Amino acid sequence: MAYHSSRKLKPLSVAVAMMFTVTPISLLAAEDTLSTDIKLPTETQAESDSISDQTLPTVNVKSSKQTATADGYQATKTRVGKVLQDPHDIPQAITTVTNSLMHDQQVGSLREALRNVSGLTFNAAEGGRSGDNMNLRGFYTFGDIYLDGIRDTAQYNRETFNLEQVDVLRGSAAMLFGRGQAGGVINQVSKTAKLYDENTMSASLGNDGYQQFTGDFNKQLAETTAIRLNVMDRAEETYRVNPANGDHPELNRKGVAISFGTGIGTNDELLLSHIYTQTRDVPDYGISFVNNRPVNTASINDNTFYGGSKNFDDSDTNISSITFMHKFSGDTQLRTQLRHADYERAYWTKTPSATLLPQADYSVGGNPTRSTDYTTNTLQSDLSTKLTLAGMKHQVLMGFEYLNEDSSRTTLQPFDPSTGLPIFGTRTQVNAAIAANGVFYDKNLLSTDTPTTFNADNYAVYAQDTIEIVPQWDLLVGVRRDEMKANYSSATSPTLNYGENSYRAGLSWHQTPENHYYVSWSDSFSPTADLYQQTVAALPAERSKTLEIGAKWLLLDGDLALRTALYRTTKDWERNTDLESTSAVLTKKRRTDGVEFELAGRIADHWEVFSGIAFMDAKILEVAENVNATTGAITYADARFVGQRARNTPVATFNVWTTYQFARNWKLGGGVEAKGNRYGYNPSQTAAQTSTATGTFNTGSFNPNVLPGYARVDAMLTYEVRKWAVRLNVKNLLNKIYYDSLYDNGGFSVPGNHRSVIITTEYKF
């Protein structure tokens, strides 16, 4: 609770911090602003008494100005728990990637920012789930991405140019956020208008066609009114190339965000914002597996790109929000948000071949296509207050939420490149035309198939109370009720009507303001057919439960935060994320046991660090049960999957980033991101399927596709003065070949980029 929060602490040994900057990276592989703090001296009791005995002239100070402050690599505020809190006081594991950290690392996308989150891995795109797609603690997060506390479910690629920080609340979180998965919630925090004038422009150039421009312009218009504008334009390629046409994968991103606030810092604060982001990418689906490893021959290897400049991944995202906060008193406030969001996206990409080289006419490889239009309208209101009842302090949170979702998706119609006309006919005729002449797609040429549509109304009410039962001991209890009514175009699951309760509980011991020990329990759910996970027959909703024991310490006068968490998460009726899959259930029960350590903040006046290490034991406990679409019979997955490690979940991950300021204006930094090996396979396959020549048990024992572990090294050097700065970032310093994301069924993986050298100039005025 806020009653215990303190940032004035007793100094502790720097040796505690050092253990996070050294780790056995070889073991894993086998399996950014300049700031100077001025600290005021702490007065002794004698000095205080002496000062109080003196008669001093009266000085009246009046100021409504806000000052520009930055947390550095340690976050001291978060709203991931629905109210503004110090992360140190929350009885659940939280990782915050701050703006300072993203700035120093030259981060452009949300995906890049999340490399700083231990226990997180990336999924390659397939089955309509392309876009930001991550696993956290071994579980999907495709329904758990939020923007300022409001659901941001759409599958698209997010940028960081308008983000103040990224909060990752680990573990089941349905009581706070509604339906979701087991791994946790990723909440993006937008930049907002502030009561001071500050402008920053930056321009960057690098190899592989890297170029980026950003601008952050804040203007105070009146005593409590301000406006802020953020803009971004970024382009880059990778080293991978199609040998038949010379084309590379490309990223082409643009964005503009505006925030207007009035009544800032008063009892009635109104914020209006709009963000538009655009992508015009040439997508990359990576390379295939051969003999359970990424293909690596003289002609086909990590350099080989199967697409070309005619492929596209185009999206246009518009998000408009209104936020109003009324303070009844210093302890009671009502915060209401209204949002309209529209996500339009179309893509045509190429899947790789394990044996055939890519061709200039795009005739080798599959042709995944998609056109989607997804619209949401959200109303969310939270009332928080502090009070004393029955001699105990309470911090109460109550709220409601309404969400309407309206979605339509279809595929694109192929056309003959020699005539420019659409190809019609039966599937056999279309395939024959494609084989004879190649195939192209246009984002405006929609398939004649009936679109898949989805419309849902979601209602929720929730309440939570944090009670100081005795001094230094807090009890947290919360409950939420969600109701959803949805209509689908699917013949097998045309409607969905459900109601689910979610719970959250925690017990905290604040031994001192610096030391917080806790045990917490939380759950989550995701209903049948939610997020297009359609099933032939009604099945129980996904349910997950997380038990966590943790500790949080503030060290070195509060400059350094250290936390650890030991957890167990169990998930029932895990659904497939692949929209094309006929086997909707992946596993009936699976579990991740894990332990995490994280360090963030300042070790010394000029030395900052952000580091995390996670160990995960993710296993299948019960295999899938699926309903046959034709006969209605239940089919069971291969029983040999029981006890096997879950997909795309390494045994260990590690990350560290540290910077040191020297010679007044210089700052040197560097870091490592490392992951152990990861498996890719389909755990819903039957014994007959897994015993084939390419099956998971083709050798008689568990033999999945495997991505090797890796350790990527990055570095940074900055020279900064008051008005301008120059920064050099080198990503993948050692030019290591590594595989970044995995299609979890094991069909292909996408290599990370080679060494990337970026120089950035920054001007402030």
Q: What's residue 531's pLDDT?
A: 63
Q: Is 420 left (phi over 0), alpha (psi -120 to 50) or beta?
A: left
Lowest mean pLDDT among 45-59, 225-239, 448-462, 543-557: 45-59
Q: What's residue 45's pLDDT?
A: 37
Q: What's residue 492's pLDDT?
A: 66
Residue 93: pLDDT band by 50, 70, 90 thresholds? very high
Q: What's residue 632's pLDDT?
A: 78
Q: Is residue 56 pLDDT above 90, yes or no?
A: no
Q: How many CB atoms lie within 10 A of CB 446?
A: 15
Q: Is residue 593 pLDDT above 70, yes or no?
A: yes
Residue 619: pLDDT band by 50, 70, 90 thresholds? very high
Handedness of CA 170, 174, 177, 181 (dihedral sign): positive
Phi, psi of 271 (to 5 degrees): -130, 125
Q: What is the pTM of this model?
A: 0.90
Q: What's residue 423's pLDDT?
A: 85
Q: What's residue 126's pLDDT?
A: 63
Ordered DSSP codes for 117-155? STTEEEEPP-TT--SS-EEETTEE-TT-EEETTEE--S-
Q: Is residue 21 pLDDT above 70, yes or no?
A: no
Q: What's residue 363's pLDDT?
A: 87
Higher pLDDT, residue 533 or 556: 556
Q: Per residue, what are the HEC states of 749-764?
A: EEECCCCEEEEEEEEE
Mean pLDDT, rounded, of the chain? 88
Q: What's residue 533's pLDDT?
A: 59
Q: Calculate what percentage of the chain has a pLDDT beyond 90.
A: 74
Q: Is residue 292 pLDDT above 70, yes or no?
A: yes
The arithmetic mean of pLDDT across residues 28-46, rounded, is: 39
Q: What's residue 62's pLDDT?
A: 37
Q: What's residue 46's pLDDT?
A: 36
The arithmetic mean of pLDDT across residues 734-747, rounded, is: 92
DSSP β-bridge partners for residue 396: 385, 465
Q: How far apart (Å, rounded) are the C-alpha atoms in residues 492 and 690?
A: 27
Q: Is 605 left (phi over 0), alpha (psi -120 to 50) or beta?
A: alpha
The arithmetic mean of pLDDT across residues 299-324, rounded, is: 96
The arithmetic mean of pLDDT across residues 73-92, rounded, is: 94
Q: What's residue 581's pLDDT?
A: 56
Q: What is the pLDDT of residues 551-568, one digit of tens each?
A: 999 999 999 999 999 999
Lowest mean pLDDT among 177-186, 391-400, 537-546: 537-546
Q: What is the pLDDT of residues 132-170, one digit of tens each?
A: 889 999 998 878 999 999 999 888 999 999 999 999 999
Find, among 184, 592, 114, 77, the residue nearest to 176 by Cα. 184
Domain ranges of the chain: 198-411+449-764
Q: How far apart (Å, rounded) are the C-alpha atoms in residues 386 and 394?
A: 6
Q: Is residue 613 pLDDT above 90, yes or no?
A: yes
Lowest mean pLDDT among 268-277, 392-401, 582-591, 743-752: 582-591
The arithmetic mean of pLDDT across residues 557-582, rounded, is: 86
The arithmetic mean of pLDDT across residues 727-734, rounded, is: 98
Q: What's residue 133's pLDDT?
A: 87
Residue 535: pLDDT band by 50, 70, 90 thresholds? low
- Which CATH superfamily hosts domain 198-411+449-764? TonB-dependent receptor, beta-barrel domain (2.40.170.20)
Q: What is the pLDDT of residues 104-128, one digit of tens each?
A: 999 999 999 999 999 999 998 765 5
Lowest mean pLDDT among 35-44, 74-83, 287-296, 387-396: 35-44
Higher pLDDT, residue 421 or 59: 421
Q: What's residue 584's pLDDT?
A: 80
Q: Are 279 and 156 in contact (CB under 8 A)?
A: yes
